[in-house]
Amino acid sequence: MVHELSKVDARRIMVRAQWLGEPRPDDVLDVIRQLTLVQHDPIAAVAPSADLVLWSRIGSAYRRAELADLLDEQALIDHQGLIRPAEDMALYRAEMAAWPGVGPLKEWQENTRDWVAANDGCRREILDLLRSDGPLPTSAFPDSCEVPWRSSGWNRDKNVQMLLLLMVEQGEVATAGRDGTGIRGQKLWDLAERIYPDDPVPDVEEALARRNARRLAALGLARAKSTKMPTEPNDVGPAGDEAVVEGVKGLTELVEFDYQLEMYKPAAQRKWGYYALPILYGDRLVGKLDARTERDEGVLLVNAVHEDEPFTRKVAAAVDAEIDHLAEWLGVEALRN
């Protein structure tokens, strides 16, 4: 069956799937189960990304300590920088069990496998230290790698760090929370068997199918195939039913929203600001908020509200009120330039 949708219908499906409508949810774990993940990003121009995602769903009733508590209880797992429900980890352990890949390996997979094998002594030292003393920070592991990690980028010679990440991919170690300062402290590592639930692990094909179905439920609409993403993919394979949206070829045309994260650009080249936040009104993304939390001064400094199209009085009033709600939640005062 092929569903025929208008743009409005399609956008409403996506907003509902992302739990951005009314009524607001009130449970952090339920929200992350629906979204399947929130990104663990320590950058906090306004607040950390995970906190902003949860505030945008739950509102001012959300307390940031709730997320840290759920991570400490291991109801949520920080896996490769993405915070996921613990019960979903079996769907990722399937690929871990098949590391470095299923079927014929690509050259980079063979090179990675060979590098880990060449540094098996260091790998075993890490496992021994975790078994006796874990959880531990990266700095606790001596670099006894015999073959250095080669990279033209910022990972060059970061042997222990890269080995730990590859041991995560193999399902040997896992992130075990932070060093006592919530989700913004130093990352700790432990044996994966102490972190992941002991749930049955499906084969890779079944795990991928279930992940695709979960992801589609979180997105509402998605392509069967899309550009490879460095984190969570936006394609969902054959999951769900086919749909066509009137007058739309891609998701960019559907949401009609021009956005780019500009914090890595020189200030003079930014259009919307260092860490501009998208503004949603109803089922439309209507602008961007350029703001920054200045905690020492006790203010949410609003540099600009960029209107994609001129706001009506109703939209402007709603956006202004939400900025005040955000500042109140942050425990500061909104200061508009």
Calpha distance 296→301 (Å, rounded) = 12
Regions of the chain short of the pLDDT cut 50: none
Calpha distance 237→230 (Å, rounded) = 17
pLDDT at residue 1, rounded to an integer: 81
pLDDT at residue 248, rounded to an integer: 86
Computed over every residue of the chain, the mean pLDDT equals: 93
Contact 138, 189 (CB under 8 A): yes
Calpha distance 24→207 (Å, rounded) = 30
CB atoms closer than 10 angstroms to residue 47: 19
Phi first, then psi: what are they for 78, rounded to 5°? -85, 105
Residue type, 130: L
CATH of the domain spanning 257-336: 3.40.630
Q: What percent of the chain has pLDDT over 70?
A: 97
pLDDT at residue 319, rounded to an integer: 98
Which residues lie below 8 Å from residue 204, measured CB to CB, with a gap of 6+?
Answer: 94, 95, 98, 102
pLDDT at residue 118, rounded to an integer: 98
The model's pLDDT over 13-56, given as tens digits with 9 standing for 90+, comes to 999 999 999 999 999 999 999 999 999 888 899 999 999 999 99
Could you tell me where in the chain the CATH 3.40.630 domains are found? 257-336
pLDDT at residue 226, rounded to an integer: 84
> What is the three-class DSSP state of 176?
strand
